Copies of this chain bind each other. A is one copy, B any other.
Amino acid sequence: MTHVPTHRPLTIGELSERSGVSPSALHFYERNGLIEAERTAGNQRRYRRDTLRRVAFIKTSQRVGLPLKDIREALDSLPDGRTPTKRDWAKLSLRWREELDQRIAALEHLRNDLDGCIGCGCLSLKSCTLQNPSDELGASGAGAQRWNLPEAEAELPPG
């Protein structure tokens, strides 16, 4: 076996291949403060190996449905070691879990409404539950959620 120094930093190609994230996306993450890299004398990126874990965290968070902005905040909130440790991950993943729970609950609620409306066909803007989602997510808690819901119910843009 060739001796491959385990601590050698990763090139962008290596990080890309190992993480499954394209180089252009890695550039993008860097521009947006999600990851960082040292540079060689010739200005090429060299990633510390724990960047792999960082990228893994980003990917998982995206799967949960979080926008990069929030993921960045989460990462920024970590003690300055930055890349999530086991302990960090445990904490953050609990938060992610709550988000997931809410998301699932909202979809299940919608499914219920949908079931109630199949065969009804009213789709009434006034009375159909499906058309009046506001109480739904409001009731489901924290007031934190907001999807593409029609907040326009209250107000239309000023003429």
Asked whether, in the complex, the Cβ of A97 is within 8 Å of the Cβ of B114, the reply is: yes
| Distance, CA A111 to CA B63, complexed state (A) | 10
Give every chain B residue within 8 A of A53 (Cβ-Cβ): 123
Number of interface residues of A (CB under 8 A): 82
Chain B residues near A89: list those with CB within 8 A: 117-118, 121, 123
Chain B residues whose C-beta falls within 8 Å of the C-beta of A3 in the assembled complex: none
Q: Kindly state whether residue A78 has any CB partner on chain B within 8 Å.
A: no
The interface bits of chain A over 113-131 (1 if a CB of B lies within 8 angstroms of the residue's CB, else 0) are: 0110111111111001011
- The 8 A CB mask of A92-110 against B (1 = contact, 0 = none) is 0110110111111001101
Q: Is the CB of A21 within 8 A of B150?
A: yes
Contact A22 B157 (CB under 8 A): yes
Asked whether, in the complex, the Cβ of A33 is within 8 Å of the Cβ of B157, the reply is yes
Q: Contact string, A39-72, partner B, CB cutoff 8 A, digits 1/0?
A: 0000000000000110011011011111111101
> A114-B64, A121-B90, A125-B56 in contact; A154/B97 too (CB < 8 A)?
no
Q: Given A99-B147, A107-B103, A110-B64: A56 and B123 within 8 A (CB)?
A: yes
* A-B CB contact pairs (8 Å), 23 listed: A16-B156, A20-B152, A21-B150, A21-B152, A23-B157, A33-B156, A33-B157, A56-B124, A60-B123, A60-B131, A63-B136, A63-B148, A67-B148, A69-B155, A73-B152, A89-B118, A93-B117, A93-B118, A96-B114, A100-B111, A104-B108, A143-B150, A146-B150
